[in-house]
Amino acid sequence: MKSHVWRPLYVVLLVIALVLVAREILVPADFGVGSRGYMYGWHRPSNVQEWKQVSVKYRTAQYCKNCHRDKYDEIVKSPHAAINCENCHGPALGHPDDPRSLTIDRSRALCARCHFRLEYPTSGRGKIRGINPATHHPELDCVTCHWPHDPRKEGRT
């Protein structure tokens, strides 16, 4: 065969060899190996200690329920029951040690993420009551009129 066929073949083989060598050097031996053999994912048995030292940034509503039972009981019976507390209050990483670590997002943009009117009635999102933020009292925060824990009640700030 002519060299114009062999040269590209050698280049491809060289690239494959370089990728395999780089993988052997850079990827830990236990990467992707689990108790049941090879598995897809990012778990490595050798870095379990590293993960134990990682601080949890987000908690669940169950974490908030211990101290804020009244708010928890109110929201679980409302249309907002599926929304996690930290969507509006921020991550509970330093809470309750530092109460100021939680910031309440009262912005219209936060509410509009779900309540912007969609013209797709067949989608699940289309069933959520929507508004046009540009025309629906743009000078006010949503919480002026709507109580976020239970939007069926009147607003309280």
pLDDT of residue 15: 98
- Positions in the chain whose pLDDT score sits under 70: 1, 33-41, 121, 154-157
The residues, ordered by sequence, that sit 6+ positions from 95 with a Cβ below 8 Å of its Cβ are: 101, 102
The distance from CA 69 to its chain's CA centroid, rounded to whole angstroms, is 24
pTM of the model: 0.58
pLDDT of residue 11: 94
pLDDT of residue 19: 97
In 3-state terms, what secondary structure has residue 146? strand
H/E stretch holding 38: strand 37-38
If we measure between CA atoms, which residue out of 143, 148, 128 comes closest to residue 74? 148
Amino acid letter, 28: P
Record the tokens describing residue 59, joined without a space.
């908690």
pLDDT of residue 1: 59
pLDDT of residue 17: 98
| Model confidence pLDDT, tens digit, residues 43-89 | 777 888 888 888 778 888 888 998 999 999 999 988 888 888 998 88
Amino acid letter, 39: M
